Amino acid sequence: MTRRAGAGPRTGAGGWRIGALLFPALLGLTVFILGPALVSAFAAGTDKTLTGPSFHWVGTANLREAFGDPDFGRSVRNTLLYCVLTVIPAVVVGLALALAAQKVTRGSGALRLALFLPVSANLVAIAVVFAYMFDPSGHGLANTVIGWFGAGPRNWLGDEATSLPVVALVGGWRLTSFVFVVYLAGLTTIPASVYEAAEVDGIRGFARLRHVTLPLLAPTTIFLAVFTTILTLQTFETVAVLTHGGPFRSSATIVYYIYEVGFTGSFRIGYASAIALLLILGIVLIGVLGSVLGRRARARAARVESDGADAGVDGAAGAALVGLGVAGAAAPATEAAR
């Protein structure tokens, strides 16, 4: 590491010390994330298979194959439908729950715990329970419930029409809890003074929700929309346990297809990498779009809030943190920091 006059370390020793402190983390990130990402990008242009001897460059053949591959097309359509079926309900319901839970004083601990639980759930374990609730026999829970309304039993997971929605229900159930956690954290960053000012101006109820709360939450909302979309684009576990992508590929998502191509059958790592590359491109695009929208929303929120000092901070810090499934972590850290 080089030294910068004045600002940098005063001794050479300080320089290598910094290097030593950083080295383990940078090694891990380089070897297991950045490196693989680059290798993957390279492999996308080869016909590498797991057992195949070497990387043989085939140019854009894999990408061209992907665009003509009906199974890939199907997985993209399934994934997009899955996103719509999970993200929109999760954000709406999660927001409603957070707004409702915000003011509860008595028993709030138990209430929050109950609503947080799905976040901590093991997806494989939950998938098992949902498979049981949606059992095709007439005595399964779902079939019993629709039986009350006179409908005959359905083969939920074995039917092309319902397999994906049921898988999306499992994902959406967990995602809603996640959204709730993040919104609850977002609500605590709105200063009480803003509400007091609204009260003085006679703004209450739905008017306050529309003109005060929602604009101030807009950065959180945009972050959540973008992040949960990115998260659901990578759906894998629920599909792998509940349906194996079936029946007739009706519930195969992009990542499940990558798994099938790269790790089963003929282990076509090159082709799997090409599809993964397309997925990353999509994710980066959404991420960029999100950060542009997020910046605008934060600017607007700062104008709504009279002393707009902290809204943006929590938006930014919370966003990146929560991004990794460390949802609750963001809030305690930034809160305790005050």
Partner 1 sequence: MSQSPLSQPPLSQPPTNEPAVSEPAMTEPAMTEPAMTEPVRGEPRADSPVPAPPTGRHAHRAARTGGPNSGRFAGLAGRAAVLTVGVFFALLPFVWMVRTAFGPSQSALALSSNPIPESISFDAFTRAFRDGHLGRALLTGIVVSLAILLLQLLTAIPAAYVFAWLPFRGRGVVFGLVLATLLVPSQVTAIPNYVTISALGLSNTRVGLVLPFMTSAASIFLLRQYMTTIPVSVLEAARMDGLGLVRTLRTIVVPLSMPAIATVSVFSFLLSFNEYLWPLLEARSPEIATPPLALATLVASPPSGLPDFAELSAGALIISLPTLVVFLIAQRRLTAGLTGTGAGG
Residues 142-171 that bind partner 1 (CB under 8 A): 143-144
Q: Which residue carries 């729950």 as its tokens?
A: 97
Stretch that binds partner 1, among 64-72, 160-168, 217-225, 323-331 (CB under 8 A): 323-331
Q: How far apart are CA 170 and CA 127, in angstroms?
A: 7
Per CB under 8 A, does 26 bind partner 1? Answer: yes
**Stretch 287-316 residues interacting with partner 1 (CB under 8 A):** 287, 306-307, 309-310, 312-313, 316
Among 66, 85, 131, 179, binds partner 1 (CB under 8 A): 131
**Stretch 246-285 residues interacting with partner 1 (CB under 8 A):** 255, 258-259, 262-263, 269, 272-273, 276-277, 279-280, 283-284
Q: What are phi and psi of 63, to 5 degrees?
A: -65, -40
Binding residues for partner 1, how many (CB under 8 A)? 138
Per CB under 8 A, does 139 bind partner 1? Answer: yes
Among 85, 126, 212, 252, binds partner 1 (CB under 8 A): 126
Per CB under 8 A, does 3 bind partner 1? Answer: yes
**Stretch 30-89 residues interacting with partner 1 (CB under 8 A):** 31-37, 39-40, 43, 50
Q: How far apart are CA 333 and CA 311, in angstroms?
A: 15
Among 166, 167, 224, 331, binds partner 1 (CB under 8 A): 331
C-alpha closest to that of 290 among 221, 192, 193, 191 = 221
**Count of other CB atoms within 10 angstroms of residue 287:** 15
Smallest separation, CB 130 to partner 1 (Å): 7
State which residue, 141 or 299, has the beta carbon closest to partner 1: 141
Among 61, 63, 88, 133, binds partner 1 (CB under 8 A): 133
